[in-house]
Amino acid sequence: MTRHQKIYWAGFCVVMALLIIAPLVLPEFWRRFLTEILIWGLLAMSSDILIGYTGMVSFGHSAFFGLGMYGAAAALLIVSPPNLWLAIIFGLAGAGTVALFVAYFSTRLRDIYFAITTLIFSQIFYVIIFTWTAMTGGENGLTFRRPALSFFGLFSTPFDTATLHWFVLAVVAASYLILRRIMQSPFGMVLQSIRENEPRTRAIGYPVERYKIVAVMLSGLFAGLAGVLYAIQNRFAAPDFVYFLVSGETVIFNVMGGIGTLLGPIVGAGFFLLLRELLGRLFGEQFPYLIPLGFIFIAMIIFLPQGLLGFARRWLNR
């Protein structure tokens, strides 16, 4: 182990330990809040694969997230008793299908065209979900019971806020490690070379389109996973979460936290949600928190384009 690796893993363990202990010391509200940050962080992290590593800004991540939610909802409503793993499988299948569809069409396009296409795709799914009332509950969405935390018949226990937090933490941490490994693999290196210089990557002989399709699929699957977790935490699925404002917030998390770091987007989500909570407490529920947050966001793009964790980007990717 190099010195860098020692410090990195030591830091990782400390943060993990703090996150594991957190539900034991935090009050109920903050326990839920922390879990939610992790879930939105996972969504933002999934979009970082595209924004930070491949150089494609997706404005359509709400579609993957939402389909993850509705997929989980389908499993939880159809199968009785509700099964956690089935919900995950259904959610991933839903998000994966949408991701394949979006990837096939949108990866032929670059830059803003990619961004606009992903946005339009997410709106297509939004309109379908919003108007297909018989299947999706339309505007009201779907509510369902939360599954129990089971492990293939070995044991089964209902979720409480603490076990849910640990479960989410385990999923998010595992996702992070997997994505980090992938981004350091030859595959991840090709993605990063697409970001740096797409024509040259193609000229060397890499099938750039195929790499991009896989990147969008990967990103969509993890976004869908975040959607499943959110559905399980909140016991509902609603079209609001497919709406493109969610995609926009995902991009904001990325920019605030620092793209191309995987961890940055989680920090960005935490920063955003904490500020929102703080503003709500200071000025009341009705306070239009997106106004000051919008100003901070704009100022960060202009003055701090690498985000909060940008300074550590090289170090984190080593």
* Nearest distance in Å: CB 115, other proteins: 6
Of 149 and 279, the one with the shorter C-beta distance to other proteins is 279
Neighbours of 182 (CB within 10 A): 17
**Residue 227 CB, nearest approach to other proteins (Å):** 22
DSSP conformation letters of 83-118:
BHHHHHHHHHHHHHHHHHHHHHHHTTS-HHHHHHHH
What does the alpha-carbon distance between residue 308 and residue 111 come to, in Å, rounded to a whole number? 24
Residues within the interface to other proteins (CB under 8 A): 57, 59, 105, 108-109, 111-113, 115-117, 119-121, 123-124, 127-128, 130-131, 248, 251-252, 255, 288-291, 293-295, 297-298, 301-302, 305
CA atoms within 13 A on the CB side of 267: 16
Please say whether the beta carbons of 64 and 98 come within 8 A. yes
Rank residues 20 and 120 by Cβ distance to other proteins and give the closer one. 120
Least Cβ distance, residue 120 to other proteins (angstroms):
5
Report the greatest alpha carbon distance in the chain.
Answer: 58
Q: How far is the CB of 176 from other proteins (least distance, A)?
A: 24
| Residue 286 CB coordination number (10 Å) | 7
Smallest gap from residue 118 Cβ to other proteins (A): 11
Cβ-based neighbour number of residue 293 at 10 Å: 18
Shorter beta-carbon distance to other proteins: residue 35 or 122: 122
Provide, for the chain, the percentages of residues in helix, strand and coil under a 3-state DSSP scheme, each rounded to the nearest 5: 80, 5, 20
Q: Which is nearer to other proteins, 83 or 240 (CB)?
A: 240
55/181 Cα distance (integer angstroms): 19
Q: Which is nearer to other proteins, 34 or 115 (CB)?
A: 115
CB of 236 to other proteins, least distance (A): 22
Residue with Cβ nearer other proteins (122 or 233): 122
Which residue in 51, 36, 64 sits closest to 223, CA to CA? 64
Between 158 and 294, CB nearer to other proteins: 294
Q: In whole angstroms, how close is the CB of 291 to other proteins at the nearest point?
A: 5
